[in-house]
Amino acid sequence: SGLPGVAVGFELKLVLVGLFRVCEVIARVVSLGLFQLAVRNEPIPGLEEYYPDGLGNKGSAFVILFDFIMLVSMIFYWQGMRRGNYKNIAYAFPSVVSFMNPMLLSENAFTVPAWAYYSLRVVELAGMGAVAWKLECFHPGKGHRDFHDGHPGNNLHEVAGFLREFDNDTVLLYAAAGCTALMLVLVLLIRCVLVSNVLLKDEVMFESHAFSETEDFLCEKLLDVGRNEGYGGKALADCSDFHDFAEKKIKSACRHVAFAIREFQKKQKNRALLSQASFFTQSTTKVSTSRFDVVEKWREEQLELREIKEQEKASTAERLLDLVHVAYNLHHFLKGGQTTHQAHKSERGSDKFLFDKNRSQTHVARQYVVVLTLINECLQKEGGDPACRGLLEDENRCLELLRIMPDWEQVEVGEGELKITEKTELAMQLFEGRCQLVANVMRAGWARGRAFRNVAYQFHKAFAAKPEKDAKKLVPDIENSSVDPYDWVMRLQMMALTDMFDSIPRDMRATTEQINKLSAPRAHRGFELFRPEVELQALIDGAELVMKSRKFDVEAKFQYDSATAHSSDSNPTKAANKALHAILGSFKEDLMLKPSFEQKAHVQKALGILLSEGEFLRLTTVAIKANSDEPETQHAPTSKHDLRGYFPTVDEGNKKSKDQMPFELDLQYAEITFTFSPVKEVEPRSFTVNNRQVWRVHDTTMLRLLRSLDETTMMCLQPTQDIQVSFHNFREEIQEQAKDAINAQLKQLKETRETTVQPATCQCLEKFRGMDKQRTVKVDEIKSYKNTHYKKLEIYEDTIQGYRDFLDDSLKSRFQWSAPVLSHITDAETKVTTDLKQLRKDINAFWAEKEGKVTGEAKRQQLAAQEAEKRAKQEQEKAKQKELDAMNAQERAEKMRKEAEQERDAAKQKMEDAQREANEAQERAEEATREADKKRLEAEQLRKEARAREKKAFEQEAASTRKLETIQKEKAELQKDAKALSKVKEDLEKANQEKKKFEDAYKKAEADLKAAIAEKKRLEEQLKERAAE
């Protein structure tokens, strides 16, 4: 291009510019010297009283002074009055000698336009020549010097005087004339033929630094469609080319940042896999047996070095800095019409940077949203790169972001706009990016402490919070709409103001005096950050809308009709599948709608809703209508798996390509209605994660507001009475909802206790209770059910401990501002502890009763044996009596005696057997009781240690699961890389084989050549012999 800083190697343009500069300086210096020589002793008509002997050695000084005054006036007009850049007046003094603007730059960068400067030069040269011609009079006096001798006849005028005056200065005269003529020729050639615009040539300058005021003016001038349309021709063509270049530059910077974000997230998850990745690569690489091992090793080292350099280039912070510079330098293009220079105010107004207002404004706004989204993604506190936030330690970076931040003009929708168009949605997304950008900058900037105070004031001033009455002038309030621009803007503004206040360091709002200074005007040495009538009122207005929206469900519809489908894709059904895939992929396992930053815009457009940070939506029902003539089917999913099951899926074996969606809409018509319920601060019920119950508290907008502005802080900010009442009502409502949620959690724990561990109602003992009613339960059966029951008790105790940790770690920290909620949390902790102790007593009493019942049965059997022995004795006595009565029948009595003795022996044996069985049963019962007591004591002793180890193991298991998933993904990628590397090595081996073949052929050819040479020598010797003969 020939432009300095852009040209590489030899450039004829630069040679011509160098020659022109030499001629310009020589002509200027020599002309001043010759003018002074011509008028040094000549009296000036009308000034003889002041300068009787002429100007003397002050002739050139008067010319320089006149030139300096003219240049100051001209620079004051072009740089000061038209641009507001009065600092460039300093270039007036060096401009006396030469033109201070770049000669090859078509625009006026620092001083005045080239045509004005060199017109002044030509006029000055003509004037200097005319004055010298008029005043020149040579006085041949003493020593042939120009000395007035009082004799008019001795004086020489005009040509004769010039020739005599400069008889020994002909070289200077020729040099001045030649350089002046060559300068005029070169200036016409350069300025008419060779000039160009550096902004169209130098692509690196847009991301290398932030533009100065001069560069910003040139960029704005080149982008100004209204101005260049008036010029037409090349100016309009350059404007169009620069618009295309600006769009490509912004897209390129956005792609680089998006790639860097993905790489950073991947590195965060896979830092531990670097050594495994290198081992895996080595294990899958075959060792080459080529003799060029040294070359191959060098090649691999070079590839590794190149990969390391590419990774360093792709760092998130560097890419973000490039994007910030590009967006800062092209902010006129992104904002599409706002200008800071008075010279560029045109009749086109707000669309002065747009070729086609209807098409270009939407297209540029979409790019603007992407830029803000990527910047906010890099600067966010959770999941962002700390190096990106470290960039904000430089105050200049913060001020660059301040210029990038959208203004209220980008959000203005207009009164009476009752239909949500794409332009309206983009305007609201721009406002969301604006709020997130301010919040992110404040969080990172206030980490510098008081040094950030002035920048914070500039951001607060630029943010320009608007209460309800002012906001409605810019954004309409549409009733009965799922996307209300007014509600959206006020809620986002409230979240941003909350983050802006919460990010202020505690040491700057620790006392009443410091808090009062936050709202005091700067004239009273205050910060003027949170004024009651502006920022606080806007906070309360937004909080009212948030509290109102929490009471209603949100409906979002995804509609597709092939008969009326309009899509830029060739296949509208495929586009609908992609949109549905993005929607379903945005749901978490607990059916919370949380799309990624890349999918957020697609999900919002497909569902017709807007999602903001600090507001949480959970899916409650989904209604699917597959035909316009059929009724819709209602579903109430409980997990993400259930939700996906409602849609037709494609089997893995039937997939045509890896890019095919896991589900497809093969229907001609589809209407899917998603119903969401707003999620409040405390979840009333727990969720099961890895077979464990977990409780959640969400950092909602209202919770952040109340946590940042407690009651004492709010009173110190001197709010109005209405603000105080509204703020108090919000606090009370949030506190009551939190207490109700805690009560619901306690109720759920009670239901869990009754169904899992309460002896009288738990499901694990249902069969045992039935057996106990029908018969006597054996000791082994009691032991088995008892062990199962105590395992359930351990699980329930872990659940209670998890709930206690939730109350202590999560809930208390977020409700430190609320004494009633903290008191309720303490009561809940006391209640669960008391209930657990009572549960343990009930379980111990239950099993003691059942074991005692078995022991009582053994005693009953012993008493039955004793009763049998007593009856045997009575029978024996009766036998003796009969023997006495029948003495005369001795044989019969003897027989009866023997029978009685046999019966006695049999009864005795039965009694002994019963006694032995009873003793054994009692011993077994006592042994079982002792063993159970021992295990219970051991379990009680180890429970605390086991709970800690299990908690740690659970965390390790979750981390291991995440690492395993990441390893598997990386392993797949490394396998692909290994396959590619193997293919490269196979190609290398083939090349080596070809080389070997070539070497063999070369050796063979060399051998043939040697044989030919030998044959040639032999023939020569034969010829010599024949010649000799």
CB neighbours of 980 closer than 8 A, spacing ≥ 6? none
Query: Does 824 have pLDDT greater than 90?
Result: yes
Query: Does 288 have pLDDT greater than 50?
Result: no
Of the pLDDT bands very low, low, confident and very high (cuts 50, 70, 90), residue 846 is confident
Phi then psi dihedrals of residue 894, to 5 deg = -60, -40
* pLDDT at position 746: 92
What is the pTM for the complete model shown?
Answer: 0.67
Min mean pLDDT across 154-163, 484-493, 567-576, 756-765 is at 154-163
Question: In terms of Cα–Cα distance, which of 405, 380, 407 is closest to 474?
Answer: 407
Query: Does 15 have pLDDT greater than 50?
Result: yes
Q: What percent of the chain has pLDDT over 70?
A: 75
Of the pLDDT bands very low, low, confident and very high (cuts 50, 70, 90), residue 290 is very low
Mean pLDDT of the 149-175 span = 61
Of the pLDDT bands very low, low, confident and very high (cuts 50, 70, 90), residue 280 is very low
* pLDDT at position 227: 66
* pLDDT at position 273: 42
Of the pLDDT bands very low, low, confident and very high (cuts 50, 70, 90), residue 820 is very high
Question: In terms of Cα–Cα distance, which of 944, 934, 939, 951 is closest to 791?
Answer: 939
Which tens digit of pLDDT belongs to each residue from 75-104? 888 888 877 778 888 888 888 888 888 887
Which tens digit of pLDDT belongs to each residue from 542-572? 888 888 888 888 888 888 776 665 555 556 7
Query: Does 850 have pLDDT greater than 70?
Result: yes
The answer to whether 60 and 102 have CB atoms below 8 angstroms apart is: no
Look at the block and give the residue holding tokens 């003009």. Answer: 409
Query: Does 885 have pLDDT greater than 60?
Result: yes
CA atoms within 13 A on the CB side of 303: 8
Max CA distance (Å), the chain: 212
Mean pLDDT of the 664-693 span = 77
CA distance 676 to 955: 31
* pLDDT at position 46: 57
* pLDDT at position 744: 92
The answer to whether 660 and 574 have CB atoms below 8 angstroms apart is: no
Q: Which residue has the higher pLDDT, 324 or 889?
A: 324
Q: Which residue has the higher pLDDT, 402 or 575?
A: 402
Give the chain's mean pLDDT.
76
Across 3-12, 37-46, 497-506, which has the greatest mean pLDDT? 497-506
Which tens digit of pLDDT belongs to each residue from 920-935? 767 776 777 777 677 7
* pLDDT at position 606: 80
DSSP state of 312: H
* pLDDT at position 574: 75
Tokens for 916?
């032995």
The answer to whether 488 and 610 have CB atoms below 8 angstroms apart is: yes
Of the pLDDT bands very low, low, confident and very high (cuts 50, 70, 90), residue 739 is very high
Count CB atoms within 10 A of the CB of residue 935: 14
Q: Exposure of 1011 by Cβ count < 10 A (0-12 exposed, 13-18 middle, 19+ buried)? A: exposed
* pLDDT at position 576: 78
Min mean pLDDT across 39-48, 489-498, 604-613, 839-848 is at 39-48
CA distance 336 to 353: 5
Virtual torsion, Cα 901, 906, 909, 915, nearest 10 deg: -110
Query: Does 418 have pLDDT greater than 50?
Result: no
* pLDDT at position 949: 74
Which tens digit of pLDDT belongs to each residue from 964-994? 777 778 777 778 877 877 887 887 788 788 7
Which tens digit of pLDDT belongs to each residue from 429-485? 888 888 889 998 998 888 888 888 888 888 888 888 888 888 887 777 766 555 577
CA distance 675 to 677: 7
- The alpha carbons of the chain give a radius of gyration, in whole angstroms, of 48
Beta bridge partners of 624: 633, 672
Count CB atoms within 10 A of the CB of residue 520: 16
Q: Which residue has the higher pLDDT, 633 or 344?
A: 633
CA atoms within 13 A on the CB side of 579: 23
CA distance 159 to 136: 9
Beta bridge partners of 673: 557, 623
CA distance 23 to 183: 6
Min mean pLDDT across 19-23, 240-244, 675-679, 741-745 is at 240-244
CB neighbours of 680 closer than 8 A, spacing ≥ 6? 550, 698, 700, 737, 741
Query: Does 164 have pLDDT greater than 80?
Result: no
Query: Does 916 have pLDDT greater than 70?
Result: yes
CB neighbours of 144 closer than 8 A, spacing ≥ 6? none
Helix H or strand E encompassing 888 = none
CA distance 660 to 652: 10
Look at the block and give the residue holding tokens 């995440």. Answer: 962
**Sheet of 669-678, strand order:** 554-561, 669-678, 617-625, 633-635
Query: Does 827 have pLDDT greater than 90?
Result: yes
Which tens digit of pLDDT belongs to each residue from 311-344? 445 578 888 888 888 888 888 888 874 444 444 4
CA distance 58 to 36: 7
Query: Does 597 have pLDDT greater than 90?
Result: no
Q: Residues, the chain, total?
A: 1029
DSSP 396-444: HHHHHHHHHSPPGGGT---TT--S--HHHHHHHHHHHHHHHHHHHHHHH
HEC secondary structure over 474-485: HCCCCCCCCCCH
